Amino acid sequence: MQLTPGSNRGRRIGRRLAMVLVVTVLAGTVPAVPAQNARQELSAESAIETIKRRGVIKIGLSLFMPWSMRDRNGELIGFEIDVGRKLAEDMGVEVEFVPTSWDGIIPALVSGKFDTIISGLSITPQRNLTINFTEPYAFSGSTLLANRQLTEGFTIEDFNSPDVTIAARRASTSAVAAASHFPRAELLLFDDDGATVQEVLNGNAHATMNKEPTPSRELRRYPETLHIPFDVIFDQTGEAFAVRKGDPDALNFFNHWIANQWRTGWLEERQDYWFTTEEWADQVVQ
């Protein structure tokens, strides 16, 4: 039987089709409103929007040469300081550096004391459980710097002994590397790299594990007392900005900024200045 547009059955089928169409359209559009609102709220809560509203980017860091340090006048200088100032300039905001103890720097970021960490923070899976990392803006590794007299003739295996003491900076990847490669040695932890080197100079520790360029720089200063016994870089890593979890806008912006600085050569030039030259050395108390 053929249905005509004016028949009762035809009208009933038409109304049902229209209702199905309406329900289908609504089903496809209703979730879009909450999703859009969620995206807007997420964007508004981003550290990037906070920085723009405040007009200042707050950067957490710890002091260790030549990443971040104070000059003879007490002003902050170093590779990280150059990076932070350049980042703020490109964002059109001021910069505030927030010196923080190394073992408390990640909790301070999570609690909102600053917007990001730029402090030679190596990317590790364990840290990534608490914070998010950008792409690397620097690359480094750890080197063993030893007391000549105490370790003359030592092999790598000789350092892995209960009779050997190794100094390292507390909560650093160098401390993790020392514990991993020399688990039987006694590990002494300090709050800064300078103290670890001093322990070796004083003969209180056989060696210290530190990131470059600290070992090479200290070797140039004290060649009679110190030596780098092995041409080995332990646990090479990339260093990255750290941001709080759940902030894709911050990750997006910082990643693009870092990529651009690599592309222009600016990051490489700054790294070469601070890590391979001593042109800045007279600005700080050695």
The answer to whether residues 95 and 218 belong to one domain is no
The answer to whether residues 229 and 152 belong to one domain is yes
The Cα 17–Cα 218 span in angstroms is: 82
- Tokens 């300090």 locate to 190
The answer to whether residues 130 and 265 belong to one domain is yes
Residue 15 falls inside a structural domain:
no
Residue 20 falls inside a structural domain:
no
- State the pLDDT at residue 285: 82
Residue 195 falls inside a structural domain:
yes
- The residue length of the chain stands at 286
Residue 14 falls inside a structural domain:
no
- State the pLDDT at residue 197: 97
The answer to whether residues 222 and 242 belong to one domain is no
Is residue 126 within 8 Å of residue 137, measured between CB atoms? no
The β-bridge partners of 66 are: none
**Closest residue by Cα to residue 168 from 285, 64, 80:** 64
The answer to whether residues 221 and 199 belong to one domain is yes
Assign residue 176 the CATH number of its domain. 3.40.190.10
The alpha helices in the chain, defined as continuous H runs, are: 8-29, 32-44, 47-54, 79-91, 105-110, 125-128, 148-151, 156-159, 173-181, 193-201, 214-221, 248-264, 266-276
Residues of the chain with pLDDT under 50: 1-6, 13, 17-27, 29-30, 32-33, 35-36, 38-40, 42
- Cα–Cα distances (Å) from 178 to 116, 144, 171, in that order, read 27, 9, 12
- Cα–Cα distances (Å) from 134 to 119, 152, 256, 271, in that order, read 13, 42, 10, 18
Count up the domains in the chain and report the number: 2
The answer to whether residues 92 and 132 belong to one domain is yes
Is the pTM here over 0.75, yes or no? no
Long-range contact set of residues 245-250: C-beta below 8 Å, sequence gap at least 24: 245/130, 245/131, 245/132, 246/42, 247/45, 247/46, 247/47, 247/48, 247/132, 248/42, 248/46, 249/42, 249/43, 249/46, 249/47, 249/48, 249/49, 250/46, 250/47, 250/48, 250/115, 250/116
- State the pLDDT at residue 12: 53
Residue 277 falls inside a structural domain:
yes
Residue 278 corresponds to which tokens in the numbers above? 């001593």
The answer to whether residues 145 and 227 belong to one domain is yes
Residue 76 falls inside a structural domain:
yes
The answer to whether residues 229 and 258 belong to one domain is no
The answer to whether residues 72 and 208 belong to one domain is no
Residue 3 falls inside a structural domain:
no
The answer to whether residues 134 and 152 belong to one domain is no
- State the pLDDT at residue 22: 44
* b/e burial code for range 81-106 (CB count within 10 A of at least 16 → b): bbbbbbbbeebebebebeebebeebb
The answer to whether residues 261 and 195 belong to one domain is no
State which residues form the domain around 111: 47-139+237-283
- State the pLDDT at residue 237: 84
- State the pLDDT at residue 43: 52
* Residues 244-282 pLDDT 10s: 999 999 999 999 999 999 999 999 999 999 988 889 989
The answer to whether residues 181 and 200 belong to one domain is yes
Is residue 214 within 8 Å of residue 167, measured between CB atoms? no
Residue 34 falls inside a structural domain:
no
